[in-house]
């Protein structure tokens, strides 16, 4: 079945920290009505599901007007085209010619897996990038982060969002139950003072970018 509670959280970030465990995350604290909220971003590869990531500056969201009109806080999304829902395989963004894909596998960088020689040379590339973007957003008094993923509850109260990555194309025996289309996660950072958007896309090397209408690998 697809991920639960597919949503977008719009809010003002106040701080961030690394949280370790079975999978290391960078946890961002966000202020918005109904909050505070936490945003859990995968920043380190784990065995069997190495992290791919792309940081896109000068980005244009698929539906910029829809995001800017969105109320601050957590908003449930329908996993269908034509709205705010994201799909790494199917979403397009405006361009000077025909719309182009929102993100391509070829644009993703492989994050070195912990314990490898490559990891020793560049152990915190994604963490450093997310930290820099967080600090820039905090410095912009009107800066907003839009976090797409799965809203989760603590003691019956929605207080955060995770699964901020591609949520389709997983092998049947490895998170295949999370597969679905129009339910992918990402971070969009809007800095009004600069007039810019930046996108953070995260996927896993085990995920296929050729998926059927159910989000399963073809």
Q: What are the pLDDT digits (tens) for 182-204?
A: 999 999 999 999 999 999 999 99
Instruction: List the structure tokens of 166.
Output: 């591609």
CA distance 101 to 116: 32
Phi, psi dihedrals of residue 74, rounded to the nearest 5°? -90, 130
Do residues 45 and 202 lie in contact, with contact meaning Cβ atoms separated by under 8 Å?
A: no
- What average pLDDT does the segment 81-106 reach? 93
Instruction: List the structure tokens of 118.
Output: 């490559």
Span 50-87, pLDDT tens digits: 889 999 999 999 999 999 999 999 999 999 999 999 99
Full-model pTM: 0.92
Span 18-49, pLDDT tens digits: 888 777 889 999 999 988 999 999 887 666 67
Q: How far is CA 43 from the centre of its chain?
A: 11
Span 120-166, pLDDT tens digits: 445 478 888 999 999 999 999 899 999 999 999 876 665 999 999 99
DSSP of the chain = -PPSSEEEEEEEEEEEEEE-SSS-EEEEEEE-TT--EEEEEE-S-BTTB-EEEEEESS---TTHHHHHTSPSEEEE--SSTTSS---TTT-EE--SSS-EES--GGG-EEPPPTTSHHHHHSTTHHHHHHHHHHHHHHHSTT-EEEEEEEEEEETTEEEEEE--S--S---TTTTGGG--SS---EEEEEETTTTEEEEEEEEETTS-S-B-TTS-B-
Instruction: List the structure tokens of 32.
Output: 């918005």
In sequence order, what are the residues at sequence separation of 6 or more whose Cβ sits closer than 8 angstroms to the Cβ of residue 22? 46
pLDDT at 191: 96
What average pLDDT does the chain have?
A: 89
């Amino acid at each position: 079945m697809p991920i639960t509670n597919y949503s977008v959280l719009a809010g003002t970030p106040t701080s961030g920290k690394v949280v370790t465990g079975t999978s290391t995350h960078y946890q961002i604290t966000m202020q918005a009505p109904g909050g505070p909220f936490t945003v859990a971003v995968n920043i380190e590869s784990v065995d069997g599901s190495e992290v791919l990531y792309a940081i896109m500056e000068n980005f244009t969201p698929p539906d910029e007007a829809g995001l800017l009109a969105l109320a601050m806080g957590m908003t449930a999304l329908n996993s269908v085209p034509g709205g705010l829902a994201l799909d790494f395989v199917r979403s397009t963004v405006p361009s000077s010619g025909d719309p182009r894909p929102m993100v391509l596998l070829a644009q993703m960088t492989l994050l070195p897996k912990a314990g490898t020689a490559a990891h020793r040379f560049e152990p915190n590339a994604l963490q450093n990038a997310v930290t820099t973007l967080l600090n820039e957003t905090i410095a912009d008094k009107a800066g907003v982060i839009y976090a797409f993923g799965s809203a989760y509850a603590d003691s019956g109260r929605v207080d955060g969002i995770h699964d901020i990555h591609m949520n389709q194309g997983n092998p049947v025996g490895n998170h295949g139950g999370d597969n679905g289309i129009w339910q992918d996660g990402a971070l969009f950072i809007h800095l009004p003072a600069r007039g810019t958007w930046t996108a953070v896309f995260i996927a896993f090397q085990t995920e296929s970018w050729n998926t059927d209408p159910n989000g399963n690998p073809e």
